[in-house]
Structure 1
Amino acid sequence: MTDPQLGVFMLALFVVAIMLGFPIAFTLMALGVGFGYMAMGDTVFQLVVQRTYSVMANDVLISVPLFVFMGYIIERANILDRLFKSLLLAASGLPGALAVATLVTCALFATATGIVGAVVTLMGLLAFPAMLRYGYDERLAAGVICAGGCLGILIPPSVMLILYGATAGVSVVKLYAGAFFPGLMLAGLYIAYVMIRAWLNPSLAPPLPKAERNVPLGTVLGGLATSFVPLAFLIASVLGAILFGLATPSEAAAIGALGSVFLAAVYRSLDFRKLKESVFLTARTSAMVCWLFVGSFIFSSIFAYLGGQAVIEKFVLDLDLTPLTFLLLTQLIIFVLGWPLEWTEIIIIFVPIFLPLLKHFDIDPLFFGLLIALNIQTSFLSPPVAMAPFYLKGVAPAHVSINQIFRGVMPFMGLVLVAMALFYTFPGIGMWLPEYLYR
């Protein structure tokens, strides 16, 4: 078997291994070291040390544990309940007010945490029973929570964008600037869809009782001032420091982490147990990401050394694709990979296979990364292995079936595809702000 054939066989073996449930990071390292030893001998062990050290020395990755810690602290700050109630009062006169308040809460909370499972679970406990109690259609309510909970993958400060930037060599600052308007666009599409459906068919999302809509303006403003404003100010401070060059992503993440601790202390919801849990979960998540980076670097290095990357590039180039068909092919592959894999594995392991081809098709890596960020929204929503619906099912009432939840998320998956089409047709939605700020 020639070296290129060994490389392709190694990739195929990896896919089989993850389908069987083997730990992904250590599978990558085992295959990389095993096949590398066959091809390089003892030199492969030097490669392992070099790659491990390069991950440890990567300044960009310092922001990952800081943003994750910020998210876990905010999750435990008990501000979600008051945030949802204040936004509900503010949106009480709109069609589908409960759903609109849920989506805005999800967008803001997902932006602050970036942890899809936490947002979907907490909103499933808070907003889902409320929507069912007011007579909302179960499928619509489920779709709102699942789709809204995934927005943190796209809207800055997104950990996914940090990992893509480190993998593709793209500025995280530009990625944050580029993802800002696509994230708002997708959230806006969700809200518009809910309001239109509620307006056309009020039985799907009945209006709130009149007594709950006639709330004094002072009460509404007071609720927003004590819940929405502090969290929005923290997020705006972190993003503003990054986008306007006042701080690096790592420095801004440190500000966000400290701010989240201060916010939790102000709300009197921070104790040693919650702090300990947040630190433990941050360490676990960060260790997973770093080991994935180490494993993927070892694997990709051996894969390229064996000639596997050249085989894939030649295969794609022989297809004589246009830039559009290349984008369609890559996005379809990423969509399918979203069934068995988490977004971290997709970004760190499979996206690097496509990156060398971008220059041939004259595609900006920044544009490609933003398109992937939109696409990965579907990874959490698309059956049969959709994490967001399963998170919701875990906290939903027993009479709500997983099939109802799946049917509820399908229209929102369609809206993600609409957002991707709009972004491809009008790339300025994502490219204008980084070009304007950093020209």
Structure 2
Amino acid sequence: MTDPQIALAMLGIFIACVFLGFPIAFTLMALGIGFGYYAYYDEGRMWRAFNRLGEDAGWWDSATLWFDGYFNNRIFDLFVNQTYTVISNEVLTAIPLFLFMGYIVERANIVDKLFGTLAVATRNVPGSMGVAALITCALFATATGIVGAVVTLMGLLALPQMLKMRYDHSFAAGIICAGGTLGILIPPSIMLIVYAASSGVSIVRLYAAAILPGFTLVGLYLIYIVVRSMLNPKLAPKPTYEELPAVPFGKMMWMLVTSFLPLAILIFSVLGSILFGLATPTEAASIGALGGMVLAVAYRAMTFQRLRESVYLTVRTTAMVCWLFVGSYTFSAVFSYLGGEQVIGDFVKSLDMTPIQFLILAQLIIFLLGWPLEWSEIIIIFVPIFLPLLPLFGVDPLFFGVLVALNLQTSFLTPPMAMSAYYLKGIAPPEVKLMEIFKGVLPYCGMVVLCMILMYQFPQIVFALPEVFYGPSR
């Protein structure tokens, strides 16, 4: 077998291991080191060393040279260097800080007050409880970026209330599942940090580029909820005064000040300090982590147990991401050294595709990968395969990254592997069936596709804010 064929075999073995359920990070490291030993093995090294030995050399010298010849392989130097590169990456430093902010906010009892306030404020809007739930999901998902936590908490908080208001099961479940995934797109998104570290794209430009697509997607979701509620009021009956009493204007303002405003200030202060160049993403994440603790104290929700849980979950998730990076960097370096990247590039060139066709093919592959894999694994392992192909088709990595972030919304919403649906089913009342949840999330997949089409047709949705804040990209 030639080296490129061995590289493709290496990729095939990895995909097979993924479907067999092996831990992905350690599979990447094992394959990278195993195939790297072959790729970097120097057969003549040991014999050259033996030739330098004198006739009176003892068995210890010979054994040492034999051991050195077989095990002193450059793949081990590569693995150590890649590990150090990940640990010292300043962009990745923001990940544990943003995670800690999210876990603290999740435990600060902010969301229940926010949802209650928005439900009262939007009571005269068609589908008011759904609108309130989606806005709450969007804010909470933005603050945490943790899909499972948002869907689970909102499922415990908002779903029983909507069912009590006689909402259709599918309609209510779809709102929570779709809203819970928004945190991987809307800044300050951890997914965008991981993409920036993988692609070398500026994280501040990436954050600016993702804002308008994120708001566009939220707007499409809200329009869908309101229009469906108007066309079919049985899906979302208007609450009666007894179910949701109106409150005086002054009290409403105070409820908004004490529930909506603190979380909004935290999010916009973190995001604004990044976009306006007042702080690096790591510094802004530090501000956010401190702000989350202040909010938890202000809402009298800070306990040692909650702090310990937040620290533990932060360390666990950060370790997973970092080891994925180490394994991916090692795997991709060996894969490229063996010529696998060149083979894929030549194959894609031979297809003679237009840039639009390439983007559609790439997004279709990422969409399919979203069924068995988490977003972190797709971004760290598979997206770098596409990155060297972008210049061939004149595709901006910034635009590609936002498209991927949009596309990955569907990986949580598309049956049969819609993870947000399974998160919700795990805590939903027994009368809410899994097939009803699947039925409810499918229209939101259509909204994601529509948003991607709008980005294809109007690329300034992505490029407008980065150009306003930082000028045209070079």
Provide TM-score, normalisation by structure 2.
Answer: 0.92
Secondary structure of residue in 1 paired with 2:372: coil
Letter in 1 for 2:12: A
Letter in 1 for 2:140: F
Letter in 2 for 1:92: R
Cα shift readout 1:384-408 (whole Å, capped 9, x = no counterpart):
1111000000011112111111111
Corresponding residue number in structure 2 for 1:99: 130
**C-alpha separation in 1, matches of 2:197 and 2:342:** 22
Matches within 5 A, 1:366-385: 366-385=398-417
Corresponding residue number in structure 2 for 1:37: 37
**C-alpha separation in 1, matches of 2:246 and 2:263:** 26
| Displacement of 1:214 | 2.8
Q: Is the 8 A contact 2:120 2:246 kept in 1?
A: no
Corresponding residue number in structure 2 for 1:123: 154
Corresponding residue number in structure 1 for 2:351: 319
Letter in 2 for 1:195: V
| Displacement of 1:165 | 0.4
| Displacement of 1:219 | 1.9
**C-alpha separation in 1, matches of 2:456 and 2:405:** 13
Letter in 2 for 1:33: I
Among 266, 280, 283, the residue aligned to 1:248: 280
Cα shift readout 1:261-280 (whole Å, capped 9, x = no counterpart):
01100111001000000000
| Displacement of 1:89 | 1.0
Answering whether residue 337 of structure 2 is matched by residue 337 of structure 1, we say no
| Displacement of 1:183 | 0.6
Secondary structure of residue in 1 paired with 2:364: helix
Secondary structure of residue in 1 paired with 2:416: coil
| Displacement of 1:254 | 0.3
Secondary structure of residue in 2 paired with 1:227: helix
| Displacement of 1:281 | 0.3
The percent identity for this pair of structures is 62
| Displacement of 1:54 | 0.5
Corresponding residue number in structure 2 for 1:114: 145
Answering whether residue 464 of structure 2 is matched by residue 432 of structure 1, we say yes
| Displacement of 1:335 | 0.1
Secondary structure of residue in 1 paired with 2:468: helix
**C-alpha separation in 1, matches of 2:328 and 2:127:** 45
Cα shift readout 1:101-123 (whole Å, capped 9, x = no counterpart):
00000000000000000000001
Corresponding residue number in structure 1 for 2:13: 13
Letter in 2 for 1:349: I
**C-alpha separation in 2, matches of 1:108 and 1:306:** 46
Corresponding residue number in structure 2 for 1:132: 163
Corresponding residue number in structure 1 for 2:180: 149
Letter in 2 for 1:61: L
**C-alpha separation in 2, matches of 1:320 and 1:430:** 27
Count of matched residue positions in the alignment of Structure 1 and Structure 2: 439
Corresponding residue number in structure 1 for 2:60: none
Q: Is the 8 A contact 1:10 1:31 kept in 2?
A: yes
**C-alpha separation in 2, matches of 1:214 and 1:58:** 52
Cα shift readout 1:152-195 (whole Å, capped 9, x = no counterpart):
01000000000000100000000110111111110111011000
Corresponding residue number in structure 2 for 1:86: 117
Cα shift readout 1:173-225 (whole Å, capped 9, x = no counterpart):
00110111111110111011000000111111001113535321112111110
Answering whether residue 329 of structure 2 is matched by residue 297 of structure 1, we say yes
Letter in 2 for 1:179: A
Q: Is the 8 A contact 2:17 2:27 kept in 1?
A: yes
Among 172, 178, 182, the residue aligned to 2:209: 178
**C-alpha separation in 2, matches of 1:200 and 1:381:** 24
Corresponding residue number in structure 2 for 1:195: 226
Letter in 2 for 1:432: A
| Displacement of 1:39 | 1.5
Secondary structure of residue in 1 paired with 2:93: helix
Letter in 2 for 1:37: Y
Letter in 2 for 1:4: P
List gaps (5 residues or longer) in structure 2: 42-72
**C-alpha separation in 2, matches of 1:62 and 1:193:** 38
Answering whether residue 57 of structure 2 is matched by residue 25 of structure 1, we say no
Cα shift readout 1:316-358 (whole Å, capped 9, x = no counterpart):
1100000000000000000000000000000000000000010
Secondary structure of residue in 2 paired with 1:228: helix
Secondary structure of residue in 2 paired with 1:210: coil
| Displacement of 1:38 | 1.1
**C-alpha separation in 2, matches of 1:125 and 1:76:** 14
Secondary structure of residue in 2 paired with 1:291: helix
| Displacement of 1:128 | 0.6
Corresponding residue number in structure 1 for 2:100: 69
**C-alpha separation in 1, matches of 2:212 and 2:402:** 11
Cα shift readout 1:369-426 (whole Å, capped 9, x = no counterpart):
0000100000111111111000000011112111111111000000000000011111
**C-alpha separation in 2, matches of 1:89 and 1:174:** 37
List gaps (5 residues or longer) in structure 1: none
Secondary structure of residue in 2 paired with 1:78: coil
Letter in 1 for 2:185: L
**C-alpha separation in 2, matches of 1:149 and 1:431:** 26
Q: Is the 8 A contact 1:64 1:286 kept in 2?
A: yes
Corresponding residue number in structure 1 for 2:382: 350
Q: Is the 8 A contact 1:93 1:213 kept in 2?
A: no
Letter in 1 for 2:220: L
**C-alpha separation in 2, matches of 1:63 and 1:26:** 24
| Displacement of 1:99 | 0.1
**C-alpha separation in 1, matches of 2:167 and 2:449:** 25
Q: Is the 8 A contact 2:145 2:189 kept in 1?
A: yes
Matches within 5 A, 1:381-400: 381-400=413-432
Corresponding residue number in structure 2 for 1:221: 253
